[in-house]
Structure 1
Amino acid sequence: MPTIFHRYNALLKKYPFRSNMITTSILFGFGDITAQSLFKHKKTVIITDEKTGETHEEIETSDYNFARTCRAMIYGMMFFAPISVLWHGKTLPKLKNPFINILQRRKMEQNEHSYKKLHFYDSVFRMSVDQLIFPALVWIPLYNTVMVLLAQHEDPFGVIYNKLENNWFNVLKANWTVWPGFQLVNLYFVPVHLRIVTANIWATGWNCFLRFVHNTAGHGKGSGHKIEELVDIEDDDQEITMIYD
């Protein structure tokens, strides 16, 4: 009797775009709700006493932002999932390591042990191409553009330019702390049709970790922990970075 997983697995193979669009939207929404609920956004505000004119700092904790979750779900469904299917599902698996010539490749394909080595070499090459091109040139600019436009900021293109100018490289460095290793495992062990779902599940934990680092006392910038300082990429008015794989 087919299980829910078997049915879902079959849907991913038969309808890769529709299935991944729905799944990605749900997982992006769940990831944002989880992050907002567990690690509430904290912002330092200056309070002025009207009578004395004295000022002091207070920490404000934001309420749950439903609109932000909707923006994350729209981005996941309409932009991230279709591009991921085209790139991770249809283009990346066709790339082969160019440093292995045709004769050597054919010879390695005939032996089970050598074939595993060949698959590993191809996976390393695919991961390298993916991480050198897509986060920097596609995911980071696309995410900032879409989320700013959906949030209906005044002068949206000015906001997008400022975000990319101030945070592009910091976000890229943060991405490289965690995604290359995961993607190598994903490309080597996970079947092609399940890779996007696997990345989305991983991204939920990544998203929560980013919020934990930014909004938990003793962590993030100034904590003395190199990785935490590196991945603390959120500004007070900036939405959390969802996923750059």
Structure 2
Amino acid sequence: MTTLSTVWRWYLRSLQKYPTRTMATTTGTIMTSGDLISQLIIEKKQYEPVRSLRYLGFGLIFLGPIMRGWYLLLERLYAGTRLASLKMVVTDQLCFAPFVGFSFLTGMGLLKGDSVDDIKKTLNEIYFDILIANYQVWPAAQLINFYFVPLQHRVLVVNFVALGWNTYLAWKSEKSKSSS
């Protein structure tokens, strides 16, 4: 048995036994990886481990569990209906995407110790840029995810796309701070 198949089996067992914990851990790990790529490859700066810990915490404690609940809700609302995948994408992009963008910028600001005024400034400067970029990436990714991927694997599949997305978010939010 290869190492990859061993890891996959372990992941599937963990997902079945501890779905929220497994999805939260996966999300936190992917968010941290995106920040690491941003820092070392895109920004080409000295690594700031505390910054990566913020991404880990946000994914582990907030985004991973929220995503699991969101996907369960979408499934309950639309599974078995006509055009279910399309309805899920529209609902996801109109409701969840704006919420997550706002939560990310606010949450990361709070974790950094930014003042309310600094957080408002960041939201005013880059929230809509992030939302527009979101609409260029996520509708297609989510349509594929909702149409082809079983519910229990959707957070994992989305996290593969999210590696690139989180790299962008880390770069964009830090670029905003350095240009202020």
Query: Is the shorter-chain TM-score for this pair beyond 0.5, marking a shared fold?
Result: yes
Native 8 Å contact 1:171 1:233 kept in 2: no
Secondary structure of 1:172's aligned partner? helix
Native 8 Å contact 1:174 1:233 kept in 2: no
What do residues 12-68 of structure 1 show as CA deviations (whole Å, max 9, x unaligned)? 122111111222222211221122111126xxxxxxxxxxxxxxxxxxxx3222111
Q: Does 1:179 align with 2:138?
A: yes
Q: Quick one: which of 94, 117, 140 aligns to 2:76?
A: 94
May I ask how many residue pairs the two structures share in their alignment?
175
More strand by share: 1
Deviation at 1:163? Answer: 1.6
CA gap 1:233/1:20 in 2 versus in 1, 3 angstroms: closer
Native 8 Å contact 1:29 1:72 kept in 2: yes
Gaps in structure 1 of 5+ consecutive residues: 42-61, 106-117, 215-231, 239-245
What do residues 98-153 of structure 1 show as CA deviations (whole Å, max 9, x unaligned)? xx9xxxx6xxxxxxxxxxxx4xx1000111000011111x2012111111111112
Identity %: 32
CA gap 1:69/1:233 in 2 versus in 1, 3 angstroms: closer
Match of 2:32 in 1: 29
Secondary structure of 1:30's aligned partner? helix
Q: How does 1:1-245 map to 2 (within 5 A)?
A: 3-40=6-43, 62-88=45-71, 90-96=72-78, 118=82, 121-136=83-98, 138-153=99-114, 156-208=115-167, 210=168, 235-237=175-177
CA RMSD of the aligned region, Å?
A: 2.5
Measure the CA separation in 1 of the matches of 2:93 and 2:150: 19
From the CA coordinates, give the structure whose radius of gyration is larger: 1
Measure the CA separation in 2 of the matches of 1:78 and 1:185: 26
Secondary structure of 1:237's aligned partner? helix
CA gap 1:145/1:236 in 2 versus in 1, 3 angstroms: closer
Native 8 Å contact 2:34 2:165 kept in 1: no
Measure the CA separation in 2 of the matches of 1:39 and 1:164: 22
Gaps in structure 2 of 5+ consecutive residues: none
Structure of greater relative contact order (alpha carbons < 8 Å, 6+ residues apart): 2
CA gap 1:85/1:143 in 2 versus in 1, 3 angstroms: same
Return the TM-score normalized by structure 1. 0.64
